[in-house]
Structure formats: C-alpha cells, structure tokens
Amino acid sequence: MRIPTNGIELWWEEAGAGPPVFLIMGIGAQHVFWPDRLVALLVGSGLRVLRFDNRDIGASTWLDHLPVPSMPAALGRRALGLPVPAPYTLRDMAADVIGLMDTLGLPRAHLVGASMGGMIAQEAALGWPERVASLTSIMSSPGDLWSMVGRPEALRGLLVKAPRSEAEARERGASMFRVLHGGPFDPEELDLAAEISGHAFARGSHPRGFLRHFAAIQASGSRRGRLGALKMPVTVIHGRNDPLLPLRAGLATAAAIPGAELVVLDEMGHTLPQVALPALAAGICKTVGRA
C-alpha cells in the first residue's frame, strides 16, 4: 500500500513482529529485489521487516515534474570536482525513510541498505542518529569517487537501454546477474533474477527515476569525513568479488566508522544470491542484537 511521507507517497509492505527493520534497496531497484527468503529468515528471527519502493520508482511517487539528468554529464562533473546538479539528493531520500517512520509511528528503527540503499541508510544515520538504532550497510560505499569505480563491464551494464517489455526485462535481469555476481553462481539464480526483473517491470518501469537516483549519488559527494560521528552499532557487509562497488568501498566504509564490524562474503558480488542469505541474515540479526 502507499502511505504519505516527506511530501510524497511510498509503497511499502511489512512482515513479522518485533524490532522494526527497514530494508532499503539500491539505484532504480524496487523492494521486490530484496529476496523473499531473506525476509523469511529475518522474520523467523523475531524481526518486523519493512520493505518499500524508493521515491521515483515502482509503485511509489514518480517525480516527473523534475528534470532528467544526464549520466555522462553527472559523472564528468563529479570527476572534475565540480558541483553536480540533481533534482534531489541522498539526504532527501533518507528523509523519506524518516518520514515513513513518522507515519508508521516508529520513534526508532534498524536500517539495512544495499548499494545506493546503504548510502541512503548512512545519510539517515548521520542526519537523524536518534532515530536509527543500528545500521547494516551492504555492498555500499562511503561515497568518494575512488571507492566507487568498478570494472568496466559492470559500469557498462548501468548504461544499457531500459527494457521496453516484460520479456526484455527478464532477459536483462538474467544478463545483469551474470555481470554483477562477479564469479561462479548457481544457474537457477538466473531464472530467479529474470522472474524478479519481469515482476518489477510489470509493477512500474521508470528509467527517468533511475537517472535521478544516479544524479543524487553523484551530487551527494563523500560521507567519509562524516561517518566517524556515528555511534550506533554498524556492520558493513561486502562481497569479495563485487565488480560494481569493489571490496575497497566496503573496507573504506568500515574504516570510516568507529567500532564498525566488517563481514566479507566470498560467495557474493554485487548481488544477493541465495547462498549468501543465511550469512546476510545472521549479520543483520547480530547488528540488531548489538543495539
């Protein structure tokens, strides 16, 4: 269902009962990309799990009255150290999460973010530390350009033309899994990636939202110098073979946060494969327990 937050509406769903845990997904990715099995593992551990579509994608509010940024222009300005114009920033997206907590009557919650979702969770923890009970940052980055430069084939994957049909979305989902996993995988993962990608397309494909997300990342700059202020329990989880946000991004995130625990998963690239889900669930639950 959709509920109001921060001047927009976000589509959200929940499962389980217990301490609330928000799962924040990455660039242009809807909540359905959080594996159902991971949700089941967390619910089985006594957690209330809340998933939602970020602004500008899926079933949440699309902000098409705002400009559509150019990816090459945003990257070029960022590389030159120039300000990057963006319709909104990661802090605005973090405010969406806090607003969602307000609407649901939750004074505090545990935040778990993957990729751009980890960046949003970091911004929420920095801007509203009293609202964030713990932070789990998965396959993410502190935001400096050096840590975010991945392999060319992974970066090219972001530039592929948006699918125009559910069939194209399924094909692209499987193809992107091959590229982003960064190593051997179970062939059944391709079928699952295709199924989820087709479902996401049917729910609401919105390439312009993806471009605004990309600009938000580039415009928000580095958080490395600010992350040292975090005092809540933090765990950084990263795949050893991540081709999009390399392991050095996770190492840099953990090094910037006092007391952060680092978990490196050999079986994970820039994906959430089934084989890694028990370790991911264990890491999240341990972080919640530390709070």
Q: What sign does the CA torsion over 78, 83, 87, 88 have?
A: positive
Confidence tier at 136 by pLDDT (50, 70, 90):
very high
Three-state secondary structure string covering 95-108: HHHHHHHHHHCCCC
How big is the chain by its Cα radius of gyration, in Å?
A: 17
pTM of the model: 0.96
Average pLDDT, whole number, for the chain?
95
At position 114, the amino acid (one-letter code) is A
Report pLDDT digits (tens) over 70-84.
999 998 999 899 999
Mean predicted confidence (pLDDT) in 8-23: 98
Q: Is pLDDT of 159 > 80?
A: no
Query: What pLDDT shows up at residue 185?
Result: 82
Report pLDDT digits (tens) over 178-198.
999 988 888 899 999 999 999
Question: By residue range, what is the domain housing residue 162?
Answer: 2-290
Q: Which two tokens stand for residue 25?
A: 């997904």
Which are the contacts of 275, defined by CB distance < 8 A and separation ≥ 6?
186, 267
How many structural domains does the chain have?
1
Contact 246, 146 (CB under 8 A): no
Mean predicted confidence (pLDDT) in 157-165: 82
Q: Is pLDDT of 89 > 90?
A: yes
Mean predicted confidence (pLDDT) in 207-211: 95
Q: What is the CATH number of the domain that holds 81?
A: 3.40.50.1820
Query: What pLDDT shows up at residue 182?
Result: 82
Mean predicted confidence (pLDDT) in 102-117: 98
Q: Is pLDDT of 226 > 90?
A: yes
In the β-sheet with 2-5, what is the strand arrangement from edge to edge?
2-5, 8-15, 48-52, 20-24, 109-114, 132-138, 234-239, 261-265
Q: Is pLDDT of 174 > 80?
A: yes
β partners of residue 265? 239
